[in-house]
Structure 1
Amino acid sequence: MKYSTTDEPELSDLSAKAQNSRLSTFLGKVVLSVIAVPCGGYLLGRLLERLWPGEISWSITLLLLGLMVGLIYLWLWMKRDRASLGE
């Protein structure tokens, strides 16, 4: 069976749907929370270690703090999203 051109979705419609999908939003939040925030904490820690060298490993401390903040943010976002869905 052949499809007419009106039955096939346009590529621009598929792109818009993919950008607005819940999965892409969720994956974006996960990447931001679990990767970007801890990496930022690590980089800030490396800077602090250069400015104030000492016994405390600022890079590991801020990496773990960034991971904890990112996971808490992700958990609160998921909790809020579930409440908005009415579950």
Structure 2
Amino acid sequence: MSALANLQQHLNRFWALPHHKDAALNTKLKEVQTWQQARIKRTHSALFEQPKNKPMAEYFLTQLYGGDEFKVLAEQLDRILPKA
């Protein structure tokens, strides 16, 4: 399987996740993400407060536990993959 086909397969799996079609589930997911972000900031506050770690911390919280940012990326990939 080519890398592009593999990427498309992963995108298809992402869009098949149930929270995309279930507003109540999506709301709960966002609540959990918000709670998880706060917990991580609190639990690892010493690391997150160091200036050298701020870029990593922001990336970690917004990209890995962030919610809609990945959806935007997935939409962009869906738009360009057919042209690749």
Which band: TM-score by shorter chain?
0.3 to 0.5
Please report the TM-score for the alignment, with normalisation by the length of structure 2.
0.37
The structure where helix makes up a greater share of residues is 2
Quick check: which has more Rg, 1 or 2? 1
Please report the TM-score for the alignment, with normalisation by the length of structure 1.
0.36
